[in-house]
Amino acid sequence: MNIVILGSGNAATHFGHEFQKIGHQVVQIYSKTKANADALAFALHCPAIDTLAELTPDADLYFIAIADQGIAAVVAAMPTKINGLVVHCSGATDITVLDRFKRQGVLYPPQSLSKNKTVDFSVIPFCVEANNASDRHALMQLAQQFSHKSLFCSSDQRLAVHLSSVMVNNFTNILYQMAYELLEEHDLSFDLIRPIIQETAEKVQNHIPITVQTGPAIRQDEVTQQKHLKFISNKPDLQQIYQLLSHQITKRK
């Protein structure tokens, strides 16, 4: 399969290397910043462009790997004389953003991708969507070359996966940061709670989360909860978060 990648950031870099690893040919890299296009194209041994009018018209797959807020503008500026399958990899963007094209699809990995960190695609359950049965089958075949855990998802289902990913990744990470700041304020190291972070992450790999819930809220230990709230009385935002999350725990008891 001949593939054009639109984008040069984290997702574009990982997918570009993975496409080549499984035997596909990346034939062109587009980025509005030529230096960025050149850097990825050099790594993938293919031409680079910074003008959408220069897109080759005869690729099999046009893979859009840019920030969500830029997808619609790039799609609007792409030439209409494209016969290949046009795909984006966003979790939160509806497939209808690609309606200018006859063949459209989505290949979304619910995973945080960073250029300098190796990612094992084989453990990622890729979410696949397309607007016709033939391309849905083709995209699933491609996804399964990455991971046998891949599955078909509607745009709404994919949005649910994306939102859930934000909750368990981005939201938990800011809680880690708030805990870091609280410990630092009291001259303590974040290393003290790294083991419990690891323990919780390991538990939910094999259990429904609420079944391994621990802490004062699930025990309905009001005395300890009030101690905590008093301790952070100078942090109203943290108090509010503590109370909201504690309520969500107790209502599931």
Tens of pLDDT, residues 138-155: 999 999 999 999 999 999
The pLDDT value recorded for residue 80 is 87
* Averaged confidence pLDDT in the chain: 96
The CATH code of the domain at 158-250 is 1.10.1040.20
User: Across residues 26-31, what is the average pLDDT?
Assistant: 98
User: Across residues 207-213, what is the average pLDDT?
Assistant: 96
Q: Please, which pLDDT band fits residue 211 given cuts at 50, 70 and 90?
A: very high
Q: Which fold has domain 2-153?
A: Rossmann fold (3.40.50)
Q: Please, which pLDDT band fits residue 116 given cuts at 50, 70 and 90?
A: confident
Q: Is 12 helix (H, G, I), strand (E, B) or coil?
A: helix
User: Across residues 225-237, what is the average pLDDT?
Assistant: 97
Q: Is 153 helix (H, G, I), strand (E, B) or coil?
A: coil
End-to-end CA distance of the chain: 52
In percent, how much of the chain has pLDDT > 90? 97
Q: Please, which pLDDT band fits residue 126 given cuts at 50, 70 and 90?
A: very high
- Sheet (strand 151-152) strand order: 48-49, 25-30, 2-6, 61-64, 85-88, 104-108, 127-130, 151-152
Residue 110 to residues 22, 92, 181, Cα–Cα distance (Å): 20, 11, 28
pTM value is: 0.92
User: Across residues 220-243, what is the average pLDDT?
Assistant: 97
pLDDT tens track for 54-106: 999 999 999 999 999 999 999 999 998 898 999 999 999 999 999 999 999 99
The pLDDT value recorded for residue 115 is 83
Compute the radius of gyration of the chain from its Cα atoms. 22
Domain boundaries, the chain: 2-153, 158-250
CA distance 208 to 191: 27
Beta strands in 147-186 (DSSP E): 151-152
Q: Which residues contact 62 (CB under 8 A, 6 or more apart)?
A: 3, 4, 6, 55, 78, 82, 84, 85, 86, 87
